[in-house]
Structure 1
Amino acid sequence: MKEYILLLLLALCSAKPFLSPSHITLKNMMLKDMEDDNDDDDEDNSLFPTREPRSPFFPFDLFPTCPFGCQCYSRVVHCSDLGLTSVPSNIPFDTRMVDLQNNKIREIKENDFKGLTSLYALILNNNKLTKIHPKTFLTTKKLRRLYLSHNQLSEIPLNLPKSLAELRIHDNKVKKIQKDTFKGMNALHVLEMSANPLDNDGIEPGAFEGVTVFHIRIAEAKLTSVPKGLPSTLLELHLDFNKISTVEQEDFKRYKELQRLGLGNNRITDIENGSLANIPRVREIHLENNKLKKIPSGLPELKYLQIIFLHSNSITKVGVNDFCPTVPKMKKSLYSAISLFNNPVKYWEMQPAAFRCVLSRMSVQLANFRK
């Protein structure tokens, strides 16, 4: 018993002191110097030694390891902004979150996260990723949030965990969403795919079959029309900064529960009659910075619509019944924001009754049109 107590005291005495934030800058400088010495071999990751073998006297980790240069606490491993070229090899097995953003990692290998069965969130934003091994996520069956934005991935990683609830792959080079990419991912609620060169043909039929997604953003892409094969469970759909020119009656037919619709900064000249009737629960619509010449039809029938942005279009007239229903009780929620500024409409010719279903006069934004 005395021998065990002596070993414990020796381990405590040899433990490294906690580094305060004032030492972080110096430590980063040391890492930089060590990286310069290893420039001859970009794949060398000697800064992060492998896990030491366990002592036969202690069949457990007396003191959990932390990758060199990283900060570890409360099952969170922070390794951001260290200039890493690969994933550290000695991440504690009970880790819940790994932060590897703002590094120089080009590839995720098969065993980089092997054994991290409790991993909940993985942040890999702003690296140089071009490849993720198909078997990378086989053991991370509790992963809920995966952030891959600002990389160079040409496709969505294969065999993603079925437990994933949030996937952000913004600003990559993804051109296609293949069929069965999200198969079995019933918990996927948020999908961010903006700033990818994705067009309508790149979304294969059946890509979202059987998937429950509430929020999808495919802005800053190459879409020329509203995608028709997205999940029917959508509550929010954001397609801003695309090349959409028309909205057809069938475009929203499968999105009955939609509550927020973003179509701003497109090239929309026409919205077919009856198109908006397919989204009766919508509460917010963005149509700013398009080429509309009139108020879209069907707005008075949207009982819950509260926010409608129509500024920076080519609207020349506002009718007395363009926004509000003729029967007051039909409107369940009053407008809190109607924006019409930067349109060639003569606001002094508008009848006050046109805005009879708004919360207050501050809810309507008007201004002179200037070329």
Structure 2
Amino acid sequence: MYIIITIWIILVYPYTTVHAQCNITLNTLEDKEADCKHQGFTSVPTNLPPDLKILDLSYNRLTRLGDNSFHRYKYLEQLILDNNIMNFLDAKAFTGLSLLRRLSMVKNQLNVFTSYPPGVFESLQNLSALDVSRNMKTPEYNPYRIPVGELCNLCELSIDLVLNATFGQQFRKLHNLRKLRFDYCHVDILYNETFSDMPVNINEFHMTTCKHFVVIEVGVLVPFPHLKVLNLTNSNIHLTQALRIVQPFQNKSMDAILFRGITHGNIKHDLDAVVLTQDMMKYISTICITTLDFSDNQIISVKNNSIVSFKHPQCFEHIMVSSNSFSLETWAVNLFLFVFRMTNIKMFDFSYFPLRFKNPVFLDIVTKNNHTTIERLEYKGRLEIQDITVTVPNQMQFVRIAHVMGRNGFREIKVINSSLRQLEVSYFETDVFPIITLEGFNSLELLDLSGISSDITIGAGKIPLLIHLKTLIMKETKLYLVLQTNSSILSLCPNIKNLDISYHYIWKKNLIGQLPHLTTLNLSYNLFDDVPDVVKKFDNLTDLDLSHNQLTTIRKNIQNWIDTQHTKFRTVKLYLSNNPLIRSCDTTTFLRWILTTKVKFNENVNYSCWVSSIKKSTIPEI
């Protein structure tokens, strides 16, 4: 038997009314907006306030926009018509919307050949962003007859890329177009002439979610000589091709080259996993790149240090090479040394590498006296810690080295007068953790050591005093190995505000020492059968997560302390889900408190309380 306690969350807006089935609100800029989603409208409502700045008619049943559909709303600056079933726009559908700046018609049935009559956009002289993506559902040939040439101030265009695309002269009139984004990519081949009708001033090119393999000719990007951002994320292009099409940008500068998740095996074109070579990198290595993303590309090997062959390392600010499969032994040290020599690098992500298991067990067939047996041989690989100290560049702000199935090969990570704010070294197999040395000023605010045993990190003296640290994350670190001998070990971080020590087997109540500035404490996924008294020492604590423990109730003195914290700070959050809370005569006070306290519990979570084995008639009603 259960008692269900439901917490209702009520959102209050500074100005809210309901008009014609739409919610009318004032946003933070004091602009009036109408939320008309999910109302079943088959036409544009005509009785909304005429001074609307934003109108959202998404998720309705609009099939066609007739003439003068929005003549009442001449002050509109943003119009959202996503997720309807529109298949045609009348020529004067947008008459009167001379102030409109953003128009979105995503996920409709608007055909680039038949749905847009000439003149449909003539009134939209101030439109800067048009999104008509995810309308072309089938890979059929359709020439572009959409009259975009009428949009003289358009800066951003999001549209589908149809099979054998031919755009037309009207696109050349978009002299202010800077950002071009293709979604629902139906092409299977891109020719050198495909984008020849596009204006030359485009500096951002996004072609994402091409699900079918796309064959690309080398000169496909020649029409974009001023390109600064090239984004092919999650398109099926293959890194081998992508590295060829950057040929027009040799010895130029680019803000971002984003090649994440573009490599998929293709037997037909003899393209499989990637082995990086100097020849493959010959074009991209000459480009001055600010942000480079090579993540998730099935790179299995790097030849001749080709990934560190860039001619302009000083240009890099962000590098992401996560979720590949190349070996570390032969060149990884050179990669780290190369990255940490970059004078302007701010973020480096080297994570999710399934390289090899730490101590594999092999099977060996042994024959003795004509009797064959199978023996299990545990291989203890030789751990070679190289006497290498990696110095973090002064400008580096974020480093993540996580989920690496390999071994540490460095003796020391040195931070000297650094701007480093976040350091994540988590979830990788290592017997020896590098010493972290801080010299001079440091700005480290977040440290994540999750997944690595505490006795070789913080317990082994590898972590220095971190005065400025605000957040410490130590999930699944066997912290109990250290706390049982030194409960004040976290005094190394005296000013932390956020502490996460979830996913342990901690059950002792007096588990950590004084942390006077702590505001958030995550103790979830442990073995507490009672709220530890130590929490009452944290005078600034306002967020306590005790979900997934063994709590059956909360003692009265803890209830009083939580209410006191709420009175002091006006907002306290307590997370208790997935605890075996008991409803009985012994816990009536707790159940009454959980119903009446002003403390915020888990949003949208029901608390189920077990009834102890007593007669139902003895259970008091609350």
**TM-score where L is the length of structure 2:** 0.43
Query: For the Cα contact (< 8 Å) 1:250–1:275, is it kept in 2?
Result: no
Alpha carbons of structure 1 residues 361 and 96: separation in structure 2 relative to 1, 3 Å: closer
Single out whichever of 314-323 and 108-117 deviates more from structure 2.
Answer: 314-323
Q: Counterpart of 2:403?
A: none
- State yes or no: 1:367 paired with 2:356: no
Pairs within 5 Å for 1:38-49: none
The CA deviation at 1:353 is 2.7
Distance 1:84 1:136 in 2: 17
Choose 129-138 or 69-78, whichever is displaced more. 69-78
- Whether the 8 Å CA contact 1:125–1:148 is kept in 2: the answer is yes
Partner of 2:65: 108
One of 224, 228, 247 as aligned partner of 1:274: 247
CA change 1:360–1:146 in 2 (3 A) is closer
Tell me the amino acid that sits aligned with residue 296 of structure 1.
Answer: M
Gap change, CA 1:154 and 1:190, over 3 Å in 2: same
Task: Call closer, same or farther: CA 1:192–1:125 in 2, change over 3 Å.
Answer: same
Q: Distance in 2 between matches of 1:335 and 1:367?
A: 22
Q: Structure 1 residue 287: deviation in Å? A: 4.8
Q: Corresponding residue for 1:238? A: 206
1:228 matched residue in structure 2: 195
Provide the rounded CA distance (Å) in 2 between the counterparts of 1:184 and 1:278: 36
Distance 2:293 2:72 in 1: 49
Aligned to 1:186: 152
Alpha-carbon contact 2:106-2:131 (below 8 Å) kept: yes
Partner of 2:130: 167
- Which structure has the highest strand share of the two? 2
298, 301, 307: which one aligns with 1:316: 301
| 1:149 paired residue number | 106
Deviates further, 214-223 or 179-188:
179-188
The structure with the larger Rg is: 2
Q: Does 1:248 align with 2:218?
A: yes
Please list the CA deviations of residues 288-320 of structure 1 after superposition, one character each: whole Å capped at 9, or x if unmatched: 332554353223322233322153335532432
Q: How do residues 190-209 of structure 1 correspond to structure 2 at under 5 angstroms?
A: 190-193=156-159, 196=160, 198-209=162-173
| Superposed counterparts of 1:6-155, under 5 Å | 68-74=20-26, 75-155=32-112
Deviations 1:306-362 (A, max 9, x none): 322153335532432443445xxx43323532316434x433222533451354995
Q: Distance in 2 between matches of 1:120 and 1:360?
A: 37
Give 1:110 deviation, angstroms. 0.4
Is the Cα–Cα contact under 8 Å of residues 129 and 154 in structure 2 kept in the other structure?
Answer: yes
1:333 and 2:315 matched: yes
Partner Cα separation in structure 2 for residue 83 and residue 255 of structure 1: 46
- Cα deviations across residues 62-103 of structure 1 (Å, max 9, x unaligned)? xxx985222334532332211111111223333222221111
Q: Hey, what's the Cα distance between the residues in 1 that align with 2:25 and 2:332?
A: 62
SS in 2 for 1:207: helix
CA distance in 2, matches of 1:274, 1:265: 19
Distance 2:251 2:162 in 1: 25
Q: Deviations over 1:175-222 (max 9, x none)?
A: 6463672214232222222xx461342423552434322222213312
CA distance in structure 2 between the aligned counterparts of 1:119 and 1:172, rounded to whole angstroms? 24
| Alignment partners' CA distance in 2, 1:99 and 1:215 | 23
- SS at 2:76 equivalent: coil
Partner of 2:285, secondary structure, is helix
Structure 2, unmatched stretches of 5+, are 1-9, 12-16, 27-31, 264-270, 357-622
Preserved CA contact (<8 Å) 2:116 2:145: no
**Structure 2 letter corresponding to 1:170:** S
Q: Which amino acid aligns with 1:284?
A: I
- Structure 2 residue corresponding to 1:211, chosen from 164, 169, 175: 175
Could you tell me whether the CA contact under 8 Å between 2:34 and 2:52 is conserved in 1?
Answer: yes
User: Paired residue for 2:291?
Assistant: 306
Q: Distance in 1 between matches of 2:165 and 2:309?
A: 38
Q: 1:278 and 1:255, CA in 2 relative to 1: closer, same or farther beyond 3 A?
A: farther
Equivalent-residue separation in structure 2 for 1:288 and 1:148 (angstroms): 27
Using the alignment, how far apart are the partners of 2:287 and 2:21 within structure 1?
A: 55
The number of residue pairs the alignment matches comes to 302
8 Å contact from structure 2 (residues 296, 322) kept in 1: yes
State whether residues 110 and 135 of structure 1, in contact with CA within 8 Å, keep that contact through their aligned partners in structure 2: yes
What is the TM-score of this pair, normalised by structure 1? Answer: 0.69
Q: Which runs of 5+ in 1 are unaligned?
A: 1-20, 23-64
**Worse-matched range after superposition: 276-285 or 159-168:** 276-285
Where 1:192 maps in the other structure, the secondary structure is strand
Tell me the distance in 2 between the aligned counterparts of 1:97 and 1:361: 37
RMSD: 3.3
Q: Does the 8 A contact of 2:292 with 2:318 survive in 1?
A: yes
